[in-house]
């Protein structure tokens, strides 16, 4: 009876150490990323104080005017520095994986850090730039394979390294599109491939493993189940989607 107790205690100790390491490395990376991103703003404000320290009223006005542009500069820096740091750390979502949450293995913890780090950039910078070329460039740096003229007006994409979009793909506002799902205590992953000239309508949900052909249109408020393949030159709508043309 003593052996299972020692084994269970050992597993708890390993899990505790892995969680502690995951949290500490994530926080350290984000401190470094945010610090580097904020550095130009801090330097600029330092110079502003040096120039206007003899005129407190002018200094207060200058700070008020510079507040929003300063945050924009920080956000732009974050869009590019965060994905580079994540790549250097080697964090990603594994493809075609089934990870048991209870095991807390390193693939799962890499996935957790990858998702959390991307969420920080999405939260602090994505609101300003979604739908713009800067947002597309950020997603490419974070691992997404995006063709030319890809337009993404949503912050609800996840697992960027499992997204493969060809040219002229359009993702509408509030589309939920992910390379992972959680079922029965398992995190399952699969790549999402959208063919050329695919359009995904507002507030639709696209699950893992979905593949679309060229010139495919998914209507607004639709649900595309996992592992589904959609045809070329077709329109799909509904929950779940069905072909209407």
Rounded to whole angstroms, what are the CA distances from 179 to 61, 162, 237?
47, 6, 21
Q: What is the pLDDT of residues 35-62, one digit of tens each?
A: 999 999 999 989 888 888 778 888 888 8
Residue 158: name the closest of 128, 109, 117 by CA: 117
Q: Does residue 3 register a pLDDT over 60?
A: no
Domains of the chain plus CATH, in order, are: 2-243 (2.160.10.10)
Say what the pTM is.
Answer: 0.90
Residue 144: name the closest of 124, 127, 165, 128 by CA: 165
Q: What is the pLDDT of residues 124-170, one digit of tens each?
A: 999 889 989 999 999 999 999 999 999 999 999 999 999 999 999 99
What average pLDDT does the chain have?
Answer: 92
Q: Is 90 helix (H, G, I), strand (E, B) or coil?
A: coil
Q: Does residue 5 register a pLDDT over 70?
A: no
């Amino acid at each position: 009876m003593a052996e299972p107790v020692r084994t269970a205690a050992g597993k708890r100790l390993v899990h505790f150490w892995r969680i502690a390491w995951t949290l500490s490395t994530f926080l350290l990376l984000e401190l470094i990323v945010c610090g580097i991103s904020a550095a130009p703003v801090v330097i600029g404000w330092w110079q502003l104080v040096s120039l206007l320290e003899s005129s407190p009223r002018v200094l207060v006005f200058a700070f008020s005017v510079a507040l929003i542009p300063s945050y924009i500069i920080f956000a732009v820096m974050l869009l590019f520095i965060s994905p580079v740091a994540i790549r250097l750390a080697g964090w990603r979502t594994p493809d075609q994986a089934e990870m048991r949450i209870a095991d807390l293995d390193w693939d799962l913890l890499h996935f957790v850090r990858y998702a959390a780090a991307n969420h920080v950039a999405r939260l602090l910078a994505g609101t300003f730039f979604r739908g713009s070329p800067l947002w597309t460039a950020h997603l490419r740096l974070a691992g997404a394979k995006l063709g030319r003229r890809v337009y993404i007006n949503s912050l609800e994409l996840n697992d960027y390294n499992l997204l493969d979009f060809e040219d002229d793909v359009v993702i509408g506002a509030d589309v939920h599109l992910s390379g992972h799902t959680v079922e029965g205590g398992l995190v399952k992953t699969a790549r999402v491939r959208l063919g050329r000239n695919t359009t995904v309508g507002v507030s639709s949900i696209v699950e893992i493993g979905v593949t679309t052909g060229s010139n495919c249109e998914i209507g607004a408020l639709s649900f595309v189940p996992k592992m589904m393949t959609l045809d070329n030159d077709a329109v799909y709508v509904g929950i779940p989607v069905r072909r209407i043309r």
